[in-house]
Amino acid sequence: MTESAGGDTGTSEADEPSIRRVMRRDVPTVAPSTTVSEVARLLASEDLSGVPVLDGDVLVGIITEWDVIAREAAVDVPPVIPFLDGIFVADGGRDFDEEVRHVFAITAGELMTAPVYSVRDIATLAETATLMVERRISTVPVVDAGNRIVGLVTRSDLVRVIASLESASR
């Protein structure tokens, strides 16, 4: 399942760059059965901050550097408090189930984040930047009208184009 942003906003390409001009077109992908070690090697060798997970042609998830790093982090086990005849688990602030899921993941399907936030290939730079900021995500798959992946945009890609736009406006 994906959640897509970006649509026909009436903004012309002359006013603002389309994400098509920014996105990486050669998008490495992995299958849900791909091992976490293969995913980590792919992220490192391709210098990616995230890789889409496809089940056939369907975008089902994404694995980011954060997911791989979280797999190595220590798990905070919430304290258990006995009270009368019951046992209560104190909330430690972090999602214990999510931490455990990361630690024990062996395949991309187990480690991936879903649903995936994506943008249409007609989205603008501002729409993509807004999605990244509001959802606190670093890597956004770009999909066409048929919801097929056609590109990938990272925060670094946006910083490069913003720097270029800022230089041109001076």
Mean pLDDT by 10 residues, the chain (170 residues): 52 67 94 97 95 95 92 67 72 65 84 94 94 95 93 93 83
Cis peptide leading into residue 115 (ω within 30°): yes
- pTM summary value: 0.77
The CATH number assigned to the domain with range 2-168 reads 3.10.580.10
Q: Where are the domains of the chain?
A: 2-168
Per-residue tokens: 38: 């293969």
H helix and E strand count, the chain: 6, 8
- The model's pLDDT over 33-68, given as tens digits with 9 standing for 90+, comes to 999 999 999 999 999 999 999 999 999 999 999 999
